[in-house]
Amino acid sequence: GDSVTQTEGQVALSEEDFLTIHCNYSASGYPTLFWYVQYPGEGPQLLFRASRDKEKGSSRGFEATYDKGTTSFHLRKASVQESDSAVYYCALSDLATGGNNKLTFGQGTVLSVIP
Amino acid sequence: GGIITQTPKFLIGQEGQKLTLKCQQNFNHDTMYWYRQDSGKGLRLIYYSITENDLQKGDLSEGYDASREKKSSFSLTVTSAQKNEMAVFLCASSLGPYAEQFFGPGTRLTVL
């Protein structure tokens, strides 16, 4: 079945540090890839998505590029702020495996930014 | 805009008890979902529904029932609560395939 792997379970950075969260996927079809962010006490919300190889998704200074060759969708931000502290989820949707917009999530990465 | 409301916010039950979680959305979305969120394991799909009275099992449906009473509401029942089911349950809705899923704030389940 489909799967998403986030390498980092927790990341601790100082403000203005560069962020990378690694996301690799396995899917039988040609999936759409997503990054969601979850702030304390809230449900996840969409950061951005990408549907094609080499497509870049971006929002609020975060970006990720769909790489079909390496099956990756790594999240990056050049300069993090304390307000970016949250849990980040990589996810995919693959209609080839059936169902209607079923999302498969990675295990999540807890980002803590120290002021 | 719209909102997803989940009730209750906190649910405490005894082991073996049947417990029901409720979700309402006013986006007028066709598809609704129930996920379970465990620390370090991400979100796992329990049930989803693509229209009123439709139900589809997710990867984690064992031990749960669901009901889509009308377009705007989707309920989840824990048939016999177990201590290893303590988690946050998230409801979501979306317009259709590849569309953004909008999530509620969650119900935290504690089993005594």
The tens digit of pLDDT for each residue in A40-75 reads: 989 999 999 999 999 999 999 999 999 999 999 999
Does residue A100 surpass a pLDDT of 70? no
Please name which of A59, A100, A62 lies closest in space to residue B49, comparing C-alpha atoms.
Answer: A100
Q: Does A40 touch chain B (CB under 8 A)?
A: no
Between A92 and B97, the higher pLDDT residue: A92
- Which residues from B are below 8 Å from A100, CB to CB? 31, 48, 50, 56, 96-97
Does residue B2 surpass a pLDDT of 70? yes
Give the pLDDT score at A5.
97
- Which residues from A are below 8 Å from B47, CB to CB? none
The tens digit of pLDDT for each residue in B65-111 reads: 999 989 999 999 999 999 988 999 999 999 876 678 999 999 999 99
Chosen for mutation from B54, B61, B88, B98 (greatest number of chain A CBs closer than 10 Å) is B98
> Is A72 within 8 Å of A22 (Cβ atoms)?
yes
Q: Does B107 touch chain A (CB under 8 A)?
A: no
Does residue A98 surpass a pLDDT of 60? no
Query: What is the average pLDDT value for chain B, to the nearest integer?
Result: 93
Within 8 A by CB and 6+ apart from B84, the residues are: none
**Separation between Cα atoms, residue B25 and residue B2, nearest integer Å:** 7
Give the pLDDT score at B105.
96
Give the pLDDT score at B42.
87
Interchain contact, A100 vs B96, CB within 8 Å: yes
Return residues 21-40 of B near A (CB < 8 Å).
Answer: 31, 35, 40
Instruction: Give the DSSP per-residue string, A24-82.
Output: EEE-SS--EEEEEEE-TTS--EEEEEE-STT-EEEETTEEEE-BTTTTB--EEESS--G
Give the pLDDT score at A94.
82
Does residue A97 surpass a pLDDT of 80? no
Query: What is the average pLDDT value for chain A, to the nearest integer?
Result: 93
Q: Does A96 touch chain B (CB under 8 A)?
A: no
Give the pLDDT score at A29.
83
Q: Does B103 touch chain A (CB under 8 A)?
A: yes
The tens digit of pLDDT for each residue in B14-66 reads: 999 999 999 999 999 999 999 999 987 889 999 999 888 899 999 899 999 99
Q: Does B41 touch chain A (CB under 8 A)?
A: yes
The tens digit of pLDDT for each residue in A21-34 reads: 999 999 988 899 99
